[in-house]
């Protein structure tokens, strides 16, 4: 069943990237006639795709008739032409993903279980709980900074925190988009597809 959960890039009918979903959902769309499968710039309906050859050793799925079916990696919607936008939730996990799990004061790579969230301007000093005022921080640095500003604590941010402009597209982190996706993604889109924005409403720390 793991193969059915692999990511598929979804393009609108103008071949613009709009979403990521699972192989399972992509195949359902193709069976319903809502999408066609794209492979090497050629579109296939589901009947044609079921006949597509599967190479020896290639990861595939089995049809109801025990026929090997090649995994789709891109589908094109037959009707939808819009490009949706989503609000990225301000959560602990999303902040860490935005910052690449690096402490924004020391540049240290952190595990999610270790990292803390720091309010650049402390909440006790009027700092708001917004994207532009929260960063990933090493716990030791966070404790040392306490309720001071970075200047007061002798710290300097590697970069100013900003609100992400990407979409929450998939629940697994995709560090590098598959090669066949890249022609359909701008640099900014590659960045947003490189990180999946969790929808969990995680608690945040000072």
Asked if 93 and 173 count as a contact pair (C-beta separation under 8 A), the reply is: no
Q: Predicted confidence band at 187 (pLDDT cuts at 50, 70, 90)?
A: low
Lowest-confidence segment of 5-14, 128-137, 184-193 by average pLDDT: 184-193
pLDDT given for residue 166 in this prediction: 58
pLDDT given for residue 1 in this prediction: 52
pLDDT given for residue 49 in this prediction: 94
pLDDT tens digits along 128-178: 999 999 999 999 999 999 999 999 999 999 999 998 765 444 433 355 678
Q: Which residues contact residue 115 at a Cβ distance below 8 angstroms, ignoring those fewer than 6 apart? A: 96, 101, 103, 136, 137, 138, 139
Q: Please compute the mean of the pLDDT values over residues 8-29 and round it to a whole number.
A: 90
84 or 45, higher pLDDT: 45
pLDDT tens digits along 75-123: 999 998 776 666 678 999 889 988 989 999 999 999 999 999 999 999 9
CA distance 34 to 20: 15
Sign of the alpha-carbon torsion through 147, 204, 104, 160: negative
Question: Does residue 66 surpass a pLDDT of 90?
Answer: no
pLDDT given for residue 164 in this prediction: 78
Q: Predicted confidence band at 197 (pLDDT cuts at 50, 70, 90)?
A: very low
pLDDT given for residue 83 in this prediction: 67
CA distance 77 to 16: 10
């Amino acid at each position: 069943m793991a193969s059915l959960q692999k990511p598929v890039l979804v393009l609108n009918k103008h071949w613009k990237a709009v979403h990521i979903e699972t192989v399972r959902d992509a195949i359902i769309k193709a069976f319903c006639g809502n999408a066609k499968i794209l492979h090497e710039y050629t579109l296939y309906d589901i009947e044609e795709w079921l006949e597509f050859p599967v190479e020896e050793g290639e990861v595939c799925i089995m049809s109801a008739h025990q026929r090997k079916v090649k995994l789709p990696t891109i589908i094109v919607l037959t009707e939808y032409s819009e490009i949706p936008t989503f609000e990225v939730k301000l959560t602990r996990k999303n902040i860490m993903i935005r910052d690449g799990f690096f402490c924004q004061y020391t540049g240290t790579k952190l595990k999610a279980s270790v990292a803390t969230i720091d309010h650049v301007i402390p909440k006790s000093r009027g700092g708001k709980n917004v994207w532009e005022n929260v960063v990933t921080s090493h716990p030791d640095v966070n404790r040392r900074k306490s309720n001071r500003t970075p200047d007061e604590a002798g710290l300097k941010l590697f970069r100013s925190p900003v609100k992400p402009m990407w979409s929450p597209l998939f629940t697994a982190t995709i560090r590098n988009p598959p090669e066949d996706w890249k022609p359909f993604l701008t640099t900014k889109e590659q960045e947003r597809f490189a990180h999946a924005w969790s929808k969990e409403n995680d608690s945040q720390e000072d």
